[in-house]
A and B are shown apart, each in its own frame.
Chain A
Amino acid sequence: MTIKSMRDALNEALHHEFERDPLVFLIGEDVGGFEKDGQPVEIGGVFGVSKGLYRKYGRKRVIDTPISEAAIIGAASGAALCGMRPIAEIMFADLTAVCFDQIVNQIAKFRYMFGGQCACPVVIRMTTGGGRNAGAQHSQTFYPIFTSFPGLKIAVPSNAYDAKGLLISAIRDEDPVLFFEPKVLYTEKCEVPDEAYAIPFGEAAMPREGEDVTLVAFGQSVNWAVQAADELRKTRGIRCDVIDPRTPSPLDEETILESVAATGRLVVIDESPPRCGLTADIAALVADKGFRDLKAPIKTVTAPHTPVPQARELERAYLPNPRRIIAAVEEVLA
């Protein structure tokens, strides 16, 4: 057990699975490398997540592609239909808009529309979310949209430990998985075992426990929720359950409903805009199945209904933060 960044934890997961299963391969832009004067020049991914794979496994299993997202996803899904275990990398979640058809009309539906005669075990890795001042087209989350599509599974880790275990599960899964890596968390560190381990999908984590208020958060918002919970506990004696579903699909409804049954108060946090998103989804779930447990109206903390702005001051104003979460908790306790 050592302290590792999320980048290194994800890299370890890829190395474990490449080693375990020769059918696993990685395809995407800049994921591998090339030969120059007979010497390998490794790229290893623009965020460095696939470092070392090209040197170890070569171009046959670490395939650099043109900037052609539809071809990347098509190549991955077609190979998966023929028994391979592809991992496709789309550099930014925003760019799935370029290959939306290949994901939602094709991959998500093969098994169903062909009557169960095939599996499409493809993993699509991508960076997600704001915090790097990357502007409107490189900072969106996109996981709420994909969560709405039956046939896809969605994972959004919030720390290095979960990232490794969830990616290993994703690669071993028989169903297509969209794997969202919050780009600001690549350098965030925690204890991560050296060996391979799988975290099951559909099982929430609860990084903080308390009986006063339930906080449900996704991706990097989990860290803000934890900071808010720690602050509330220290300064006000308010104890919060902080629930990180980890996989919006399948969703661990039970953990959320059980927590709300105990606390009677719910705040849902996500950095996506408010409409048709995961905050509205969780609020609807609890309104539907846990209404009688509620002692106060449900509150959500989200980004506003705007694109993601670039300037530091504006992106700070856009993203949720612990202060806003604390204010929401105070409202549900009022």
Chain B
Amino acid sequence: MDHDDLLGAYRRLRLLREFEERTRVEFQTGQIAGFTHLYAGMEAIAVGVCEHLTDEDRIISTHRGHGHCLAKGCDPAAMMLELWGSTDGLCRGKGGTMHIADFSRGMLGANAVVGAGAPIAVGAALASLMTGGTWVAVSFVGDGGTNIGSVYEAMNLAVVLQLPKIFVIEDNGWGEMTPIANATGNRDLAARAAAMGMPAVAVDGVDFFAVHAAAGEAIARARRGGGPSTLVASAPRFYGHHEGDPQLYRSREEIADLRRREDCLPRFIERVTTEGSLTAAELAAVDADIARIMDDAVAKAKAGPRPVPGDVFDHVYARYR
């Protein structure tokens, strides 16, 4: 990665983190309605994968989708407007946090049904193959999602049809509030995917560079017609399953320890500054810029136009009768 790529990657990592930190603060004021699931701690996965993608490539995300949206290029202010339910939000306030989509960016939606995005992304990959495209489709699924049958249906079909499809499994060790050991018979998630008949690797999802390298290989393989593959990346979830989750299942010390030892941002900063590829001043400038972007996003969200009751009827059908 050259200097600009590195700076761009850092910018995205910081944007993803600050978006979630700010969402958490604002959520606690009661201004954001509904359930919110924060991606903090897992940013290196979304950014490591999506840095390889263009607007033509399609992704489908999960209920914990803010990070994937931002990594794919969604506008943070338009996303924040969506969290607030404004008609200026990416989905005009119809979707909210769990259904953010931006088709102009190839972001086919955060999806609130665990595992459901995998078969749909198979369809996107099928469209690429059928139309002779070079674009790929990526679905993100958590470790909890690997126990949903339709994910394996999707993997098998992608292998049978040799589709340009990448299955990214984000292993944060928790399926909502249940630890993976209590939910998953074979802890080797890459082996489970490989058993479906495709290349599958596991990487440290806290290490941006490890994710970036493995994702690059899988995406390049898919682009040149080499078929699907699976990338398992493990990274901690800094917050609860959803905002408001009291996390009675793990101690404060455990969470603080994760922050100290398994944070992708200090890990990234240490490497690029030690190597001398980015300077502390450059990073600080990005931080200041992201802080400004988040202030702007929240200000826009608070002032955003509100839907009126009649809007409930829009967008059900293209045409009904």
- Tell me if A114 and B95 are in contact (CB < 8 A): yes
- Tell me if A117 and B103 are in contact (CB < 8 A): yes
The answer to whether residues A71 and B128 also contact, given A80-B123, A113-B95 and a CB cut-off of 8 A, is: no
- Tell me if A77 and B91 are in contact (CB < 8 A): no
What residues of chain B lie closer than 8 Å to A76, measured between beta carbons? 123
- Tell me if A112 and B316 are in contact (CB < 8 A): yes
- Tell me if A111 and B315 are in contact (CB < 8 A): yes
- Tell me if B127 and A82 are in contact (CB < 8 A): yes
- Name, among A63, A110, A202, the residue most crowded by chain B CB atoms within 10 Å (CB to CB): A110
What residues of chain B lie closer than 8 Å to A111, measured between beta carbons? 315-318
- Tell me if A83 and B127 are in contact (CB < 8 A): yes
Q: Is A199 an interface residue (CB 8 A)?
A: no
Q: Which residue of B lies closest to A99 (CB)?
A: B150
- Tell me if B315 and A74 are in contact (CB < 8 A): no
B187, chain A: closest CB distance, angstroms: 25
Q: Is the interface of A mostly helix, strand, loop or mixed?
A: mixed
Q: Is A40 an interface residue (CB 8 A)?
A: no
- Tell me if B150 and A71 are in contact (CB < 8 A): yes
- Interface size counted on chain B using CB atoms at 8 A: 49
B window 278-317: CB within 8 A of A: 314-317
A window 97-142: CB within 8 A of B: 99, 101-102, 105-106, 110-119
- Tell me if A70 and B124 are in contact (CB < 8 A): no
Q: Is A250 an interface residue (CB 8 A)?
A: yes
The answer to whether residues A70 and B92 also contact, given A79-B127, A117-B101 and a CB cut-off of 8 A, is: no
Q: Which residue of B lies closest to A107 (CB)?
A: B120
Stretch at the interface among B37-45, B108-116, B230-238: B108-116
- Tell me if B130 and A79 are in contact (CB < 8 A): yes
Contact mask for chain B residues 154-183; partner A; CB cutoff 8 A; 1 contact, 0 none: 101100110000000000000000000000
Contact mask for chain B residues 256-283; partner A; CB cutoff 8 A; 1 contact, 0 none: 0000000000000000000000000000
A285, chain B: closest CB distance, angstroms: 15
Q: Which residue of A lies closest to B156 (CB)?
A: A66
A331, chain B: closest CB distance, angstroms: 33
A71, chain B: closest CB distance, angstroms: 4
Q: Residue B120 contacts which of A77, A113, A114, A119 (CB distance < 8 angstroms)?
A: A77
What residues of chain A lie closer than 8 Å to B127, measured between beta carbons? 78-79, 82-84
- Tell me if B101 and A60 are in contact (CB < 8 A): no
- Tell me if A175 and B317 are in contact (CB < 8 A): yes
Instruction: Give the distance in Å from the alpha carbon of A84 to the alpha carbon of B122 in the complex.
Output: 13
Q: Residue A115 contacts which of B93, B108, B131, B156 (CB distance < 8 angstroms)?
A: B93
- Tell me if A81 and B149 are in contact (CB < 8 A): no
Q: Is A151 an interface residue (CB 8 A)?
A: yes
Q: Is A153 an interface residue (CB 8 A)?
A: yes
Q: Is A261 an interface residue (CB 8 A)?
A: no
The answer to whether residues A174 and B123 also contact, given A25-B130, A105-B113 and a CB cut-off of 8 A, is: no
- Tell me if A82 and B91 are in contact (CB < 8 A): no
- Tell me if A78 and B157 are in contact (CB < 8 A): no
Instruction: Give the distance in Å from the alpha carbon of A111 to the alpha carbon of B127 in the complex.
Output: 19
Instruction: Give the distance in Å from the alpha carbon of A201 to the alpha carbon of B122 in the complex.
Output: 30
Q: Which residue of A lies closest to B314 (CB)?
A: A116
Q: Which residue of B lies closest to A121 (CB)?
A: B318
B window 12-49: CB within 8 A of A: none
Q: Is A150 an interface residue (CB 8 A)?
A: yes
A window 23-61: CB within 8 A of B: 25, 60-61
Instruction: Give the distance in Å from the alpha carbon of A81 to the alpha carbon of B109 in the complex.
Output: 11
What residues of chain A lie closer than 8 Å to B101, measured between beta carbons? 113-115, 117-118
- Tell me if A101 and B89 are in contact (CB < 8 A): no
A112, chain B: closest CB distance, angstroms: 5
Instruction: Give the distance in Å from the alpha carbon of A69 to the alpha carbon of B109 in the complex.
Output: 21
Instruction: Give the distance in Å from the alpha carbon of A101 to the alpha carbon of B321 in the complex.
Output: 26
Q: Is B72 an interface residue (CB 8 A)?
A: no
What residues of chain B lie closer than 8 Å to A78, measured between beta carbons? 58, 60, 108, 119-127, 137
Q: Is B320 an interface residue (CB 8 A)?
A: yes
Instruction: Give the distance in Å from the alpha carbon of A287 to the alpha carbon of B109 in the complex.
Output: 41
Instruction: Give the distance in Å from the alpha carbon of A173 to the alpha carbon of B320 in the complex.
Output: 10
- Tell me if B119 and A70 are in contact (CB < 8 A): yes
What residues of chain A lie closer than 8 Å to B121, measured between beta carbons? 74, 78
Instruction: Give the distance in Å from the alpha carbon of A77 to the alpha carbon of B123 in the complex.
Output: 6
Q: Is B99 an interface residue (CB 8 A)?
A: yes
B72, chain A: closest CB distance, angstroms: 14
- Tell me if A114 and B157 are in contact (CB < 8 A): no
- Tell me if A114 and B94 are in contact (CB < 8 A): yes
The answer to whether residues A119 and B318 also contact, given A68-B153, A114-B103 and a CB cut-off of 8 A, is: yes
What residues of chain A lie closer than 8 Å to B320, measured between beta carbons? 153, 175, 202, 250
What residues of chain A lie closer than 8 Å to B103, measured between beta carbons? 81, 114, 117-118
B99, chain A: closest CB distance, angstroms: 4
B window 210-234: CB within 8 A of A: none
- Tell me if A74 and B94 are in contact (CB < 8 A): no
B257, chain A: closest CB distance, angstroms: 37
A147, chain B: closest CB distance, angstroms: 13
B101, chain A: closest CB distance, angstroms: 4
Q: Is B90 an interface residue (CB 8 A)?
A: yes
The 25 listed contacts between A and B (C-beta, < 8 Å) are A60-B130, A63-B126, A65-B157, A70-B119, A70-B153, A74-B119, A74-B122, A74-B123, A77-B123, A78-B108, A78-B127, A79-B127, A81-B58, A81-B123, A82-B128, A86-B123, A102-B150, A111-B316, A112-B315, A114-B103, A115-B89, A115-B101, A117-B90, A202-B321, A250-B320
Q: A61-B130, A110-B109, A114-B99 are in contact. List 18 more A-B contacts (CB 8 A).
A: A70-B153, A74-B153, A78-B60, A78-B108, A78-B125, A78-B126, A79-B124, A79-B130, A82-B124, A84-B130, A86-B123, A101-B116, A113-B109, A114-B103, A115-B91, A115-B94, A116-B314, A250-B321
Interface pairs A-B: 8 shortest CB-CB: A78-B123, A74-B119, A115-B92, A115-B91, A116-B315, A174-B318, A82-B127, A70-B150
